[in-house]
Amino acid sequence: MTSPGAETTPAFATAQVQAGYQPTGVISAVPPIHQTAAYEFSSLAEAADLFALRKTGIIYSRNANPTQQILEERVALLEGGVSAVAVASGQAAVAVTILALVHRGGHVVAADQLYGGTIDLLQETLDDFGISVTFVDQDDLGAWRDAITPRTRLLFAESVANPIAQVLDIRAVADIAHEAGVPLVIDNTVGTPHLVRPGEHGADFVVHSATKFLSGHGSSLGGVVVDQGSFDFGAQPERWPQFTGPYTRFGDLVLWERFGRGGAFAALVKSKYVHDLGPSLSPFNAWQILQGVETLDLRVARQSATARLIAEHLAQHPAVARVHHPSLAGNPWNELASRYLPRGAPSVFSFDLVGAEDEQAFPQVASVVDELRVFRLIANIGDARSMVAHPASMTHSHLTAAQREAAGISLNTVRVSAGLEDPADLIADLDRVLAPLREHALVGAR
Ligand SMILES: *Cc1c(COP(=O)(O)O)cnc(C)c1O
């Protein structure tokens, strides 16, 4: 049987198991790991064509590898996109995406609520290279609009942020981007294409840390960027010389003419940014991520249901001041969650312990997370294992107090990533460690 996708679009669950793999010769049931640095050419003429981009193919594993290509095709299909580039990490996917779209002197408008590593990249490393950023509250549509300047080249946000699980109004921000003639890039790591496909709501590029839910086993780093094929770089060609002007390293080749919508971006990312900077995905990691993708919908559905049970339980707990889960009634993003996440909210959410934001917050949080036995203290999300983290001293410790506040994180906030264990064991684990605080909270309330 051949891989689906050529004639008809396969359903999500079929695509996540089969897309991108067309076996030839000896037919291995599972996609093989092409653990090789380079490929043999059939002739010098073929080699010359490949080097000049007259023909597409694989030369060397820094740019492309057959195992990686299966992953790219599969994730592109799951996101409803046209093409994808897989790289060494989510951080690399975000970096090459921004570098391909924004050059020196260019500007990015990004959400305050972004992943800490993306904030560091934008405000420090890319700033060193002359790319500036304005951060805005992602819920403030007027702020997005006001932050755009003639130098702005993209808007960037996450479909669902973490740890507070703010749900983005993707359509509204996409409309603002398109009115300004720039693309919207969405990090869908937490959302996952099972729960939300940003391209269906106007996003032009979708990035992933494949390390998280796409893998689901926490064993390998990887990242992917998907081109939805929606953004027209030819509409204002003077803004996008990297696509519409001559690509000097390939003579007078014009990527927009040669590869067009849905192809030019991936060609530029691979032939320039991955080629020059080298953040290549190892074939083994690509294979590991493919193993995870095959069960994406099953895992995400189960983890989301478990997270909701835990959130509902914590919302009733006297030692918990607040639960930040968008499926709970009264959550500020509840309406957006019902619009964008009809299958359920992601399994990454957080809760605030009772108590003041003072010097007692850290020892109190430590007394809780250090005693957990089923949940593990790990700086990761989307794993089969349930994990907790303390954003203020871990993932978001580089942020200033003002940035942390803008992201909705307090010193008492504990992040949860619900795994695949039995929900009753997870709830019992939390109840046990929260019991001493509960007595304290009840005494305090008297
Ligand atoms: C983890 C993460 C990243 C970075 O991905 P790595 O694979 O760790 O490099 C980017 N965005 C989000 C939302 C993440 O959770």
* Mutate which of 195, 212, 387 for ligand 1 pocket (most atoms within 8 A of beta carbon): 212
Q: How far is the CA of 411 from the centre of ligand 1 (A)?
A: 22
Fold adopted by 296-445: Aspartate Aminotransferase, domain 1 (3.90.1150)
At 217 the pLDDT is 97
Terminal C-alpha separation, the chain: 70
Chain length of the chain: 446
pLDDT above 90 (res 351): yes
**Averaged confidence pLDDT in the chain:** 94
Q: How far is the CA of 287 from the centre of ligand 1 (A)?
A: 19
pLDDT above 90 (res 188): yes
How many whole angstroms separate alpha carbon 184 and alpha carbon 200? 12
At 444 the pLDDT is 55
Residue 223 Cβ contacting ligand 1 at under 6 Å? yes
| Beta carbons of 194 and 300 less than 8 angstroms apart | yes
| Main-chain dihedrals φ then ψ at residue 210, nearest 5 degrees | -70, -10
pTM equals: 0.95
At 251 the pLDDT is 87
Nearest atom (ligand 1) to Cα of 91: 9
| Main-chain dihedrals φ then ψ at residue 97, nearest 5 degrees | -65, -50
Between 47 and 252, name the one with better pLDDT.
Answer: 47
How many whole angstroms separate alpha carbon 184 and alpha carbon 186? 6
Residue 285 Cβ contacting ligand 1 at under 6 Å? no
Q: How far is the CA of 274 from the centre of ligand 1 (A)?
A: 18
Mean pLDDT comparison of 48-62, 112-126, 296-310, highest-scoring range: 296-310
At 405 the pLDDT is 85
At 75 the pLDDT is 98
Give Dmax over CA atoms of the chain in angstroms. 85
In this structure, which CATH number among 3.20.80.10, 3.30.420.10, 3.40.50.460, 3.40.640.10 belongs to the domain 12-293? 3.40.640.10
At 24 the pLDDT is 81
Q: Which structure tokens are listed for 6?
A: 């050529």
pLDDT digits (tens, 9 = 90+) for 244-297: 999 998 988 999 999 999 999 999 999 999 999 999 999 999 999 999 999 999
At 6 the pLDDT is 53
Tell me the residue ranges of DSSP E strands in 335-389.
Answer: 348-353, 376-377, 387-389
pLDDT digits (tens, 9 = 90+) for 152-184: 999 999 999 999 999 999 999 999 999 999 999
Closest CA to 294 of 108, 8, 1, 31: 31
Residue 187 Cβ contacting ligand 1 at under 6 Å? yes
CA-proximal residue: ligand 1, atom 1 (nearest): 209
442 pLDDT band, cuts 50/70/90, is low
* Mutate which of 189, 206, 214 for ligand 1 pocket (most atoms within 8 A of beta carbon): 189
Q: How far is the CA of 290 from the centre of ligand 1 (A)?
A: 18
Amino acid at 329: A
Of 71-80, 307-316, 326-335, 403-412, the range with the lowest mean pLDDT is 403-412
How many whole angstroms separate alpha carbon 127 and alpha carbon 124? 5
Which whole number is the average pLDDT over 399-404?
85
At 403 the pLDDT is 82
Q: Could you give the percent of the chain with pLDDT greater than 70?
A: 97
Between 443 and 125, name the one with better pLDDT.
Answer: 125
| Main-chain dihedrals φ then ψ at residue 107, nearest 5 degrees | -140, 145
Which whole number is the average pLDDT over 353-381?
94
441 pLDDT band, cuts 50/70/90, is low
| Beta carbons of 165 and 351 less than 8 angstroms apart | no
Which whole number is the average pLDDT over 47-64?
91
Q: Which structure tokens are listed for 83?
A: 């093409």
407 pLDDT band, cuts 50/70/90, is confident
1 pLDDT band, cuts 50/70/90, is very low
Q: How far is the CA of 3 from the centre of ligand 1 (A)?
A: 30
Q: Find how far residue 80's CA is from the centre of its chain.
A: 15
pLDDT above 80 (res 3): no
Residue entry with tokens 């940014």:
273
DSSP-assigned beta bridge partners for residue 417: 348, 387
Closest CA to 306 of 352, 344, 353, 351: 344
Nearest atom (ligand 1) to Cα of 222: 7
pLDDT above 50 (res 206): yes
Residue 209 Cβ contacting ligand 1 at under 6 Å? yes
pLDDT digits (tens, 9 = 90+) for 216-253: 999 999 999 999 999 999 999 999 999 999 999 898 89
How many whole angstroms separate alpha carbon 344 and alpha carbon 194? 10
How many whole angstroms separate alpha carbon 187 and alpha carbon 274? 19
How many whole angstroms separate alpha carbon 50 and alpha carbon 55? 5
Between 83 and 360, name the one with better pLDDT.
Answer: 83
Amino acid at 57: G
| Beta carbons of 332 and 325 less than 8 angstroms apart | no
At 446 the pLDDT is 42
Domain range annotation of the chain: 12-293, 296-445
How many whole angstroms separate alpha carbon 249 and alpha carbon 425? 58
| Beta carbons of 404 and 396 less than 8 angstroms apart | yes
The neighbour count for residue 342, using CB atoms within 10 Å, is 9
How many whole angstroms separate alpha carbon 7 and alpha carbon 75? 18
pLDDT digits (tens, 9 = 90+) for 65-82: 999 999 999 999 999 999
